[in-house]
Amino acid sequence: MNPRKGLVLIVEDDANIAALQRLYLERDGYRTEIAQDGTAGFEAVARLAPAAVVLDVGLPGMDGVTLCRRLRERGDWTPVLLVTARGDEADRILGLELGADDYLTKPFSPGELVARVNAVLRRGARPAAGRGAYELGRVRVDVDRHTVHVDGVPVEFTALELSLLAHLLEHRDRVFTRAQLLERVWGDAAHRDPRVVDVYVSQIRGKLGAASPIRTVRGVGYSATGNGAA
């Protein structure tokens, strides 16, 4: 194993699934720890400070969505990869709204799991949309300092929200499709639901309110303009 790849916490109540996830992640160079219920997983994040968490939604006791919410409420922005059943669309959307970084729908290949964990960690390790600061209307984003301000007042953003907003501001007035944004901001567009972009745009607009520069271009995608959201 390559210790530089860090520790991944697997929160999964099915011992066979957890063992398979552990096998493939460790083959790729990660260290792993397993928690078998939500309460144990929540405590393990604080104790172990993992590089990322692979989090099943359907956990006994505290479910995965609640665990994610509690992490974010205490200011812990450890990257979270949600694992959901095929029919759990509401949980996937809610989890993303609460700050999860990505999701996988069962069944999935162990190789795809490793690829998603790698992608989540790459996003956190690289600058969002280049370096520097971007300003449009009442909104200012400083990538180096990881800050967003509206009229000079700081607004808390996750790394992925900031990456998406910074990318749109850097290329203001250019329209991007959802697939293009998935490729440029998330790192790949394969096997992803384009509606993930819609969820994150909604979150950004909710935080920026009337100051949001993101405009919907019907039937195409999104752009950032000085005219505000539509």
Query: What pLDDT is attached to residue 85?
Result: 81
* 30, pLDDT greater than 50: yes
Is the model more confident about 223 or about 99? 223
Residue 170, domain extent: 133-224
pLDDT at 152: 94
Percent of the chain with pLDDT over 70: 89
Assess if residue 230 is contained within a domain.
Answer: no
Domain count of the chain? 2
Task: Name the pLDDT band for 88 (thresholds 50, 70, 90).
Answer: low
- Predicted local distance difference test score (pLDDT) of residue 25: 96
What's the rounded mean pLDDT across residues 80-104? 79
Of 79, 45, 96, the C-alpha closest to 159 is: 79
143 and 118 in a common domain: no
21 and 96 in a single domain? The answer is: yes
Same domain, 11 and 86: yes
- Positive or negative: CA dihedral 136, 139, 141, 145: positive
Q: Single out the residue in 102, 125, 148 at which a domain terminates.
A: 125
Asked if residues 99 and 85 have their Cβ atoms less than 8 Å apart, the reply is no
CA-to-CA distance for 137 and 227, rounded, in angstroms?
8
Do 142 and 118 share a structural domain? no
Q: Where residue 128 falls among pLDDT bands split at 50, 70, 90?
A: very low
Kindly report the average pLDDT of the chain as a whole number.
86
pLDDT at 1 over 50: no
pLDDT of 186 reads 79
Highest mean pLDDT among 13-27, 120-134, 145-159: 13-27
- Whether the pLDDT of residue 127 is over 70: the answer is no
What's the confidence (pLDDT) of residue 125? 52
* pLDDT classification of 74: cutoffs 50, 70, 90: confident
Q: What is the pLDDT of residue 84?
A: 87
